[in-house]
Amino acid sequence: MSTEQIAAYRARMQQVREAVAQQVIGQEEVVEGVLLCILAGGHALLEGVPGLGKTLLVRTMSDVMDLHYSRIQFTPDLMPADIVGTEILREEPGQGLKFVFQPGPIHGNLVLADEINRATPKTQSALLEAMQEASVTVGGQTRQLPMPFFVLATQNPLELEGTYPLPEAQLDRFLLKIAVPFPTRQELLDIVTMTTGHSQGQPQSVITAEEILAIQATVRQMLITPELIEHTVDLILHSQPDHDQASDDVRRYVRYGAGPRAAQAIVKVAKARAFLHGRLNVSPEDIRTVALPALRHRIGLNFEAAADNYSVEQLIEHLLGRVGL
């Protein structure tokens, strides 16, 4: 890959950010986090209270990137077949009755799983194969999902009544967990002004699905030193409470540590961040920056941590210091 081609791809991604900024006020870190997930070929879990523009962001991303958008509104009565699709009996001209596969909303490029924690575990598990393998199995037949394929899920951290917490196995499938903050006063003023005046035009696509796949391949070629990979592995090992080098804080507060997918996620997203910021190699700053969203949903704290008001964010900062990052 030539440096000119890499520069051209970076310019494309800058156009994406500018197009999204015309529709989504503020939330620069959230937008960058979603872009990093897309470039790294992973899925994102967006957590924030209602009304912060999570759905708007996903819709805008799909329009700007010319991707097929699909939305799944998770509810307690949602069934797995409502997500992956099912075979229905249909009468075909000249062929009589035959079973025909009716695709579900998971068959899209950019899938919004809205309020994912409101569905039952049985329905949540229907996403596991799709998120990991980019395929679904219905009626004994495996069908590939369109590429590129991304799941951007949302959940509300406040209204927990009637919700089903995501199991660790499914949380681990999300490359990043991105916290969506409340807007600042100026951002809120801009939001109210923009949304109560003239209607906004539909965002125009500035990149194609084929270019996204090419950029993903380019991101994987970003360089990272063996030392940074070792630091990343040490970061994961130090999160294990039964590891021989675990700190007192880890032994006291951690119920379970991050797994191998966490190390893979940090390296992949750090490469994507290096690409976005105009570098050909990963820096320690990239590792530090992506560690929090890559680990916050992969480390479980115990009741003692809750009693001492010790957050997973504090623990990750502690771990970064322990490994020299």
Residue 308: give its domain's CATH number: 1.10.8.80
95 within a domain of the structure (yes/no): no
248 within a domain of the structure (yes/no): yes
Same domain, 10 and 65: yes
- In order of 13, 151, 203, 213, 215, the CA distances from 208 in angstroms are 11, 18, 14, 9, 11
**CB 55 within 8 Å of CB 68:** no
187 within a domain of the structure (yes/no): yes
Write out the two tokens for 323: 């490994």
Look up tokens 């994987």; give the residue: 220
Rg (alpha carbons) of the chain, rounded to whole number: 21
Task: Indicate the residue among 186, 212, 238 that finishes a domain.
Answer: 212
Same domain, 184 and 256: no
134 within a domain of the structure (yes/no): no
Percent of the chain with pLDDT over 90: 37
Lowest mean pLDDT among 19-23, 32-36, 233-237, 318-322: 19-23
> Mean pLDDT in the chain?
87
Same domain, 228 and 290: yes
Q: How far apart are CA 6 and CA 132, in angstroms?
A: 28
Same domain, 254 and 200: no
* End-to-end Cα distance, the chain: 30
Q: How far apart are CA 79 and CA 220, in angstroms?
A: 36
Q: How far apart are CA 237 and CA 268, in angstroms?
A: 18
Same domain, 188 and 288: no
Of residues 34, 85, 86, 32, the one with CA closest to residue 62: 34
Same domain, 228 and 205: no
291 within a domain of the structure (yes/no): yes
Same domain, 190 and 267: no
Verdict on whether the full-model pTM lies above 0.85: yes
**CB 25 within 8 Å of CB 36:** no
- Asked whether the predicted pLDDT for residue 100 surpasses 80, the reply is no
Of residues 130, 83, 133, the one with CA closest to residue 104: 83
Domain count, the chain: 2
Same domain, 189 and 65: yes
Lowest mean pLDDT among 199-208, 271-280, 288-297: 199-208
All residues at 6 or more sequence positions from 236 whose CB lies less than 8 Å from its CB, including other chains: 257, 258, 259, 260, 262, 263
Same domain, 198 and 238: no
288 within a domain of the structure (yes/no): yes
Same domain, 119 and 255: no
174 within a domain of the structure (yes/no): yes
| Domain interval for residue 255 | 222-325
**CB 265 within 8 Å of CB 292:** no
Q: How far apart are CA 272 and CA 319, in angstroms?
A: 22
Same domain, 119 and 249: no
- Average pLDDT on 171-178 reads 92
Write out the two tokens for 206: 């500035």
Q: How far apart are CA 21 and CA 28, in angstroms?
A: 8
- Asked whether the predicted pLDDT for residue 159 surpasses 70, the reply is no
The confidence band for 226, taking pLDDT boundaries of 50, 70 and 90, is very high
CATH number at residue 170: 3.40.50.300
37 within a domain of the structure (yes/no): yes
Same domain, 183 and 117: yes
Lowest mean pLDDT among 71-80, 190-199, 235-244: 190-199
Cβ burial of 226 (10 Å; 0-12, 13-18, 19+) is: exposed
- In order of 51, 138, 179, 242, 301, the CA distances from 305 in angstroms are 30, 43, 20, 17, 6
Q: Which residues of 55-92 are buried (b: 16+ CB within 10 A; e: fewer)?
A: bbbbbbbbbbbbbebbebebeeebebebbbbbeeeeee
Task: Indicate the residue among 212, 230, 256 that finishes a domain.
Answer: 212
Task: Indicate the residue among 189, 212, 235 that finishes a domain.
Answer: 212
The confidence band for 283, taking pLDDT boundaries of 50, 70 and 90, is very high
